Amino acid sequence: MKLDNTQAQMRKGILELCILSTLNNESKYSSEILHTLKESKLIVVEGTIYPLLTRLKNSKLLEYNWEESKTGPPRKYYTITKEGKFFLENLNESWLELSNAVSKIRNL
Partner 1 sequence: MNTTKDIHLSHIKFTIDQEAYKNLDSYLKKLSLAFSSNTSKDEILEDIETHIAELFSENTSVNQVVSMSQVNKAIEVLGSPEELAKDEDESGTSSKNNNIKKKFFRDTEDSYIGGVASGLSHYFGLATVWVRLLFIVFSILPTVPLVLIIYLIIWLIVPYAKSNIDKIRMTGETLNVTSIKNKVESVLPEIEKQVTDFDKNYAKGIWRNLKYYVKKTIKFFIKNIGKLFKLLSIIFGYILMFYSFFLGLSSIFFVFISSYIKNIISSYSSSAELIIEGSTIFEINEYLQIDIFDIVTSITIFWIVFFGFLIVIPCIVLFIIGMKFAFRNRVKIHKMTMYLLSSIWIISIMYLVYKLGKEIIFYNFGNT
Positions that interact with partner 1 (CB under 8 A)? 8-9, 12, 30-31, 44-48, 50-55, 58, 71-76
Q: Judged by CB, which is closer to partner 1: 74, or 96?
A: 74
Positive or negative torsion for Cα 60, 36, 88, 105: positive
Cβ nearer to partner 1, comparing 25 with 47:
47
Residue 31 beta carbon to partner 1: minimum distance, rounded to whole angstroms? 7
Rounded least distance, CB 43 to partner 1, Å: 9
The separation between the first and the last C-alpha atoms of the chain, rounded to the nearest angstrom, is: 25
Nearer to partner 1, 30 or 92 (CB): 30
- Please, what is the minimum distance in Å from the beta carbon of residue 48 to partner 1? 5
CA neighbor of 63 nearest in space, from 51, 78, 75, 76: 78
State the Cα–Cα distance between residues 103 and 105, nearest whole angstrom. Answer: 5
Closest CB 71 distance from partner 1, rounded Å: 6
> Which amino acid appears at position 48 of this protein?
T
Report how far residue 85's alpha carbon sits from residue 102's, in angstroms, rounded to the nearest whole number: 25
Decide whether 11 or 85 has the Cβ nearer to partner 1.
Answer: 11
